[in-house]
Amino acid sequence: MAVRVTEKSAVLIDLPMMIFLRLADGDGKMTAREMERFEGLLTARAWCRSALLRRSLANTDAEKAALWKKYTAGELRTGVDHVAAALDTVLNSLAPEERSDIERDLLYFCREIVRAARGAAGIFHRDAEAESEYGGLVALLQRPSARAAQKAQTESRAPPRPTAVDVGALLSGDVHAEMFWQRGKLLLRCVEVLDETHDVRTFRFVAEPPKLFRYFPGQFMTIEVPVGGAVIRRSYTISASPSRPHVISVTIKRLEGGQISNWLHDNLAVGSSLFADGPHGKFTCISDVGPFLFISAGSGVTPLMAMSRWLYDTAPAADIHFLHFARTPQDIIFERELQLMTRQRRGFRCDFVCSRAGEGSGWAGRGGRISAAILTDICPDLEGRSVYVCGPVQFMEATRAILHERGFPMARFHEESFGGVPRHAKAAETDAATIAKVVFSTSKLDVDCKGSDYVLDLALAHDLQVAYSCRAGQCGTCKVTLLEGAVKHDCADGLTADDAKDGLILACQARPTGRIVVDL
């Protein structure tokens, strides 16, 4: 239960969160282990010698969701100057004996977060960023002169940059690698929200600080959303085109019971900030010259729209036939833009098919579902095209079966299931008789299992804190270090060659071949 504190000591509520974020997210790579340790320090406060800090930590825990929201909105600043100012406010207002207790407690708090960072990095790495920040925080805690020096340095700086992101600055000066986002976590600020249909919105972002976005059309990124004091990750296709690199966007359908899609629709507005990681995925047309047949259903339109925008901008003569399936005419996403492309590019054509148009809807287009007859009638030359498909799993399976049955050259068939490629159940079943064991070394937990069990499923079943998102081996969010043994991956697209050399595995796709030890 939260305890009421005076206005003067309210800064002490923010301070633990500021220190944690300074240590854990300074490199943009906050881990589940660091989050878990932070939660433990907030809820089990017996380690505190200072009664004032114990009371304040209770309030920090109670205000955690609001603090996360302030952080993602850019209102809770964690720069070294802000942390130094907060420490000055707290420590200078205390009697010497009470100051000594709080200094000791905050040093312990810092050490525990850094210890969690070391454990998360695994035996092959050290979190150099956290180590460096720890040394700086120790100096600020123990030496008033260090805080005074930081204050003087802050006051001597030029006025802070305006809140609006100056993306125009990227158009001048020398070109260098720091101008581009190519991989990793990045803070994004929402600059526009567009209603595509009654339940689909496009959220457009710029990077903060400004960067140009580099990715392949069709790839996706993983968004981090603070919900209920926890960071929840979800992967969404990038619907923008890298040919327009100043802005990036995702197009999201509100789903009944969808925790993150509903949160984004209800809370994300112009000016809001969030973190994203990526880009991920191998579904792209970047090395194909066509001609193309894009087939999509529902929200599966997003990667194919990104490819269409890319080809529209970079290959005006490209031969593209876009076929989109929707429930009703009101559910057609990007309808007007696709029709505009058709009018402006001789080689671009789009067709829409609705399964539930209904009488009185005024729909003059085709009705029905994916079928061999519809494909043949709408695109009689499909055998000569490269086919790219995205949509719900059943739609994907039906399309693949139709093309395979008619003898389509499947080497030119490319697919990405919206919401993640399903696991290969048959592949896992072949190892169901294999006796295995997963040892979660950090959690000191041994789990007897079968060769058909996935490391992520076992971890979640035993309430272990592990980051994950797509559960399809694509985004790489669930990477963990394999310390001993060997695993089979159903899909390892989310691993790079360097990841494999460093002993990383994808927990969502990895199954043990016997006894394995995982750093989790």
Angstrom distance (rounded) from CA 461 to CA 432: 18
Q: What are the structural domains of the chain? A: 11-155 (no CATH), 176-280 (2.40.30.10), 292-417 (3.40.50.80), 426-518 (3.10.20.30)
Report pLDDT for 231: 78
Report pLDDT for 473: 83
Residue 296 Cα to chain centre, angstroms: 23
Residue ranges of the chain whose pLDDT lies below 50: 1-8, 122-127, 157-162, 418-419
Sign, CA dihedral 144-145-150-155, equals positive
Q: Which residue, among 308, 279, 136, 135, has the nearest Cα to 216 in the 3D structure?
A: 279
Report pLDDT for 493: 81
SS3 for 164? coil
- 446 and 520 Cβ atoms separated by less than 8 Å: no
Report pLDDT for 154: 54
Q: Between the CA of residue 133 and those of 80, 110, 151, 425, what are the distances in Å?
A: 9, 10, 17, 45
Q: Which residue, among 361, 323, 325, has the nearest Cα to 342 in the 3D structure?
A: 323
Neighbours of 108 (CB within 10 A): 14
Looking at every residue in the chain, the average pLDDT score rounds to 84
Q: Between the CA of residue 469 and those of 98, 411, 474, 479, what are the distances in Å?
A: 44, 29, 9, 11
Report pLDDT for 296: 97
Task: Give the pTM.
Answer: 0.66
- 92 and 116 Cβ atoms separated by less than 8 Å: no
425-437 confidence digits (pLDDT tens): 666 677 888 899 9
- 21 and 185 Cβ atoms separated by less than 8 Å: no
SS3 for 359? coil
